[in-house]
Amino acid sequence: MKTARKITLEVPPELLARAQRATRQGVTQTVRAGLELLAASRAYARLRNLRGKVQFSRTVAELRADR
């Protein structure tokens, strides 16, 4: 990770508490996890749009045999 940037946030206390319970982490780690999920959501949406449009050169049986 490059140099970190210090920011100030105003977050509803109940939202922060729920998020911290979900991550079982401190404030910084919880906010970082939320930002990573938000950034990844666009990539997930692009992958969902490709569903059924990608042709693979190997069959499922070949992939299983290669384990």
| Category of 21 on φ-ψ map: left (φ > 0), alpha (ψ -120 to 50) or beta | alpha
Which pLDDT does position 1 carry in this prediction? 60
Which pLDDT does position 17 carry in this prediction? 97
pTM, rounded to two decimals:
0.64
- Per domain, the residue ranges of the chain are 13-65
Q: Give the tokens for residue 42.
A: 């666009």
* Count of Cβ atoms closer than 10 Å to residue 34 Cβ: 14
- For residue 21, the one-letter residue type is R
> Would you give per-residue pLDDT tens digits along the chain (67 residues)?
688 899 999 999 999 999 999 999 999 999 999 999 999 998 889 888 888 888 888 888 888 987 7
Which pLDDT does position 34 carry in this prediction? 96
